[in-house]
Homo-oligomer: A and B are copies of this chain.
Amino acid sequence: MRILLTNDDGIFAEGLCALYDALCADHEIFVVAPEAERSAVGHAITLVDPLRVKKVKRGRYFFGYAVNGTPADCVKLAIHEIIGPEIDLVLSGINRGANVGINVLYSGTVSAATEGVILGYPGIAVSLNAYREPDYCFAAYFTSCLLKSLVKMPEFGRFCLNVNIPALPPNKIKGIKFVRQSTARLIEKFERRVDPHGNVYYWQCSERFTEKDPETDVVALNEGFITITPLHHDLTADKAIQILKGWQIDF
């Protein structure tokens, strides 16, 4: 396959390089990724400022294109200008840290894959559930196996796939579970600090999921399953439309 590879941790991130190395023997890989970390940018795009593209080497060899924009920008610019429309898959990751539950909305990694689907390509986001000293080896291997299986599956490419992989030794992983995105509340807080000049600032920190349903990404990943969640980009709350049609609004 001709694969557009991107991420939100930046073009030099270990997770992206691991995926490149695992896939480059079997596929043609085009790397177009943010020049630096752009985590939690969600589906942000850059309209007010111009975008610039730099060729980037890894060691002595050309590796890909670094863009001063968001993951979604990278996908758009790659397809419209840098690589062209002849690609078979938009692959985003491997992200450092899981992208499950409400956090899917904040994820630049997932938004890049969604942008691929919006533009008419299959899109896959891959994340590893580890922040400290992540080992991407199994996650990259799993992704290469996943691609081999997926191309034979019915209706592959119609949905964005959000894949999350536990940071466990392969023999401890319980299998694959196809699950929903959890929408349960996150317990989150801000830490209030004072800078050396006496000014207050806030840092967002310490979130915790409240989800209990085992058929959700949050719980299944935590239990040791690789989770795969099909995502769409239609935000319409279908069931609400009929309720709203009964509303009377006077103006």
Contact = CB atoms under 8 A, between A and B. Distances in A.
B52 A47 contact: no
Task: Give the oligomeric copy count.
Answer: 2
- Which of A159, A183, A247 neighbours the largest number of chain B CB atoms within 10 Å of its CB? A247
Given A42-B111, A192-B81, A249-B146, A76 B240 contact: no
B158 A240 contact: yes
Contacts of A40: 44-48
A145 interface: yes
B202 A77 contact: yes
A178 B244 contact: yes
A190 B81 contact: yes
A180 B234 contact: yes
Interface string A184-212: 01101110110000011111100000000
17 contacts: A42-B45, A42-B72, A44-B106, A45-B106, A51-B204, A53-B202, A76-B204, A120-B185, A145-B249, A148-B250, A149-B249, A149-B250, A150-B247, A181-B234, A231-B236, A232-B235, A232-B237
Interface of A: 37, 39-48, 50-53, 72-73, 76-77, 80-81, 102, 104-106, 111, 114, 118-120, 141-142, 145-146, 148-150, 153-155, 158-160, 176, 178, 180-181, 183, 185-186, 188-190, 192-193, 199-204, 228-237, 240-241, 243-251
